[in-house]
A and B are shown apart, each in its own frame.
Chain A
Amino acid sequence: MKILVCISNVPDTTTKIRFTDNNTAFDATGVQWIINPWDELALTRALELKEASGEAIEKITVINVGPQTTEPTIRKALAIGADDAVRIDAVPEDAYAVASNLSSYLKDNPYDIILCGIDSSDYNGSLVGGMLAEFLDLPSVSSVSKLDIDGGDIKLNREIDGGSEVLSTVVPFVAIVQKGIAFEPRIPSMRGIMMARKKPLNVVPSGGEAALTEFVSYDLPPAKSACKMVDAENVKELVDLLHNEAKAI
């Protein structure tokens, strides 16, 4: 069995977001790039499953659709423990183009379990995993908070709006994962970093459909007015303000 983890390359979660060119482009000056947090957890879970599987899971591959500048992020995934990596050489224009690129590669290079995160912390699409499943005509299970392989049987938990469910599915399938899938992301060890340099990172040309959407400009939220401070000895005043001024209670 082979597991694929789709990773997106995103600004560190503490990045101060700025735009340039008259608010038409993200300002990447000084930005630290990381593996999208969900994808890091997905990779962590894939490694746990592989270790528990004996020989049953032979390989974990990470894949990214991106230009050469994403390679440090891909190398980090190799350092964490992925066996090999693929970079599809294309600028990720939108989720549709990314998923289409991934699917055209996967049609010739199939995997049994494909893991995606529930959303990328940059454009918050929550789209690529579901689109990829549809392009490949595979089942998808989304908002997955637990994934187990018991013998050959796949068991998943997913969160729904107002509860949770236990599901089974058949391989190959796409799982779109979120909180709970793994507890703490693994960090690369010294040895992992050394080994990552020698692991294969295959670059393949873009082969997907064009984007259907375009991000044309950006706005920052309006500046927040100053916080109105209320004295701790006068909690009643807060309630008055919430009732009469904010009309929130």
Chain B
Amino acid sequence: MSVLVYTENWDGKFKKLSFELVSYAKQIADRSGTTVTALSIGAVDEAELKKLGNYGADKVLSATDERLNVLINKAYASVIAEAAENEGAQVIIFANNFTGKALSPRVSVKLKAGIASGVNAVPSSYDPFTVSKKVFTGKAFANVVIKSDKKILTLFQNSVEIAETGGDAAVEVFSPALNDADFATKVLDVNKITGKVLLSDADVVVSGGRGMKNADNWAPLEELAAELGAALACSRPVSDEGWRPHEEHVGQTGKIIAPNLYFAMGISGAIQHLGGVSSSKCIVAVNTDKDAPIFESADYGIVGDVQKVLPELITAIREMKAS
């Protein structure tokens, strides 16, 4: 018995999300009286793998075959299922990110393990195994019972606390059986976003809507984001107009995020927009229209012109930091 957690790496490094996943796995393992095995696929050095011990991993399996340097869904799913079987894993945990969404359903079918995807808390009951997940794009939560013996959970970002245990993990080389037929898909080219905070990693997000008026007005938003170490986001019309790149679009048909702080600048607060941001811990809205629906979902609001408020906000933050 064990809890298996798939810990993805980014150019050989783990990040906050990886530690969140291991912390979450640890809480479930403790309740079930079992241990945590983390599985890493791709080249990650020993010191980095060892870090997972500090969040509760008892063992880290490292699969480093060169063919696994890029994500091939079919091959990765085989590797994860093999590890799960070797470890006798009863619960398997993924992130609810692009990678987790790509792999977890395949592993589910291989192991006949029921999935609750996008869970936001530890199970509320272990018998029956019941866990809460977001449904209707953040408008509600469902309590899902997983009836199969093996269970898969994909964890929604930023929904559990990271806990350092001071533990030490044993690192083991894992050499899975690879099947040529699983590599029919080929990655021809990779474009990594560099030099900016990724939306999926950000604690603070600065977002602009059509109220920003045009692409040239984004400089103060960028300045605010830089000041706060924040990622930039936008509403759908803004990315449709080409004012901002598509990967910044948040909402029902864009990215769904849950930062600690979200600035909605010149965004009306349409229901499809809120679907992507309503799980933010704190929302600040600036809008010229006092009746804009965004104020119903915001924690703090200013009725005013973004062009005027933004520079003052940046100055006030600088002063606060300096004092």
Contact = CB atoms under 8 A, between A and B. Distances in A.
Q: Do A and B bind each other?
A: yes
Interface of A: 11, 13-15, 17, 19, 37-38, 94-96, 99, 118-119, 121-131, 133-135, 139-143, 145, 158-170, 173, 176, 179-180, 211-221, 224-225, 227-232, 235-236, 238-243, 246, 248-249
A157 to B, nearest CB: 9
B44 interface: no
Contacts of A173: 184-185
Contact of A235 (B77, B117, B309): B309
Nearest to B290: A229
Interface residues of B, number: 95
Interface stretch (B27-35, B56-64, B132-140): B132-140
Contact of B140 (A19, A145, A160, A224): A19
Contacts of B96: 126
Contact of B98 (A96, A160, A218, A243): A160
SS class of chain B's interface: helix, strand, loop or mixed? mixed
Interface of B: 8, 10, 70-71, 73-74, 77, 96-99, 101-106, 108-110, 112-118, 130, 132-148, 154, 184-193, 198, 200, 204, 228, 246-247, 249, 252-254, 260-261, 271-272, 275, 278, 281-282, 284-285, 295-305, 308-309, 312-313, 316-317, 319-320
A130 B99 contact: no
Contact of A215 (B142, B189, B319): B142
18 contacts: A11-B136, A96-B109, A121-B137, A127-B117, A130-B102, A143-B101, A159-B98, A159-B247, A160-B99, A163-B192, A165-B189, A165-B190, A167-B187, A213-B116, A213-B145, A216-B130, A220-B139, A249-B228
B185 A134 contact: no
Contact of A213 (B115, B134, B188, B320): B115
A145 B187 CA distance: 15
Contacts of B317: 239, 249
Contact of A168 (B99, B104, B186): B186
A238 B271 CA distance: 25
Contact of B281 (A99, A228, A235, A248): A248
Contacts of B304: 232
Contacts of A214: 144-145, 147
B184 A216 contact: no
Given A130-B104, A131-B106, 17 more contacts: A17-B136, A38-B253, A96-B108, A130-B106, A141-B185, A161-B200, A165-B191, A168-B186, A169-B186, A179-B254, A211-B147, A216-B143, A218-B135, A224-B296, A227-B301, A241-B300, A242-B284
A151 to B, nearest CB: 16
Nearest to A231: B302
A139 B228 CA distance: 42
Nearest to B114: A212
Closest 4 CB pairs of A and B: A130-B105, A212-B114, A232-B304, A134-B109
